[in-house]
Amino acid sequence: MSVSILKINAAGRAIEWVSWQAAVGLHARNLVSWTYGEEVMAVKGGYCRQTGLQSKLTLNSIIACRGKVVDPGRSHPPLTNQALFRRDQNVCLYCGLFCPDAELSRDHVKPLSRGGLDCWTNVVSACRRCNTRKGNTEIEALGVQLLALPYMPNHAEYLALSHSGRILGDQMQFLKRQFPSQSRLLPENQHTLRNRRINPRLPG
């Protein structure tokens, strides 16, 4: 079963996705303070010697864990292609073409060879054709615009973007409350990038 449990800290900040096996381990070590959200599965454990009864643990979709409260917002979320492509709605930000992950690449708006950084605010999803054509040129020199400006997601947005399976409704609701108000992942701020072709073709 591929269900993921959202682990949060004692202050209620979303921390990470954990497998159900890891969640069982946290319960077993008595590290779970409280649980929230729907019950996602019931796990049977060992038999009690005295009573002969089998233990049963019900796992909820969100678990709050004890321990030192470290604010996840203090560190930058890792830059991965999967989360980057999700941020950009799997759309090439140069030509508006929708592409599966395998046909997208990470393009550095200010090329690395010109001092650009490999960071969230300098990278966009690009189809291979646009990436090749852009090469090591800066976009100002090409006279093209980006369909959307690159940004760094906050930690809750990153958790939503980096999850590879289905996020349960109550987990998503929980994460959304920790998105910034102007988050592009919120339906009210979301603009469809697909097929918004402002640069039909990069010069090549």
Interacting residues toward Zn ion by CB under 5 A: 92, 94-95, 97, 127, 130
Residue among 97 and 156 whose Cβ is closer to Zn ion: 97
Distance, in Å, from the CA atom of 50 to the CA atom of 185, rounded to the nearest integer, reads 52
**Amino acid (one-letter) located at 89:** Q
Q: How far is the CB of 124 from Zn ion (least distance, A)?
A: 10
Q: Where are the beta strands (DSSP E) in the chain?
A: 4-9, 14-19, 32-47, 54-65, 104-108, 123-127
Q: What is the smallest separation between the CB atom of 130 and Zn ion, expressed in angstroms?
A: 3
| Minimum CB distance to Zn ion smaller for 85 or for 94 | 94
Task: Determine the Cα–Cα distance for residues 160 and 164; give it in Å rounded to an integer.
Answer: 9
Cβ proximity to Zn ion, 5 vs 124, nearer residue? 124
Minimum separation from the CB atom of position 190 to Zn ion (A): 21
To the nearest whole angstrom, how small is the minimum distance from the Cβ of residue 93 to Zn ion? 8
* Four-point Cα dihedral 9, 154, 126, 166, nearest 10: 40
**Nearest to Zn ion of 12, 111 (CB atom):** 111
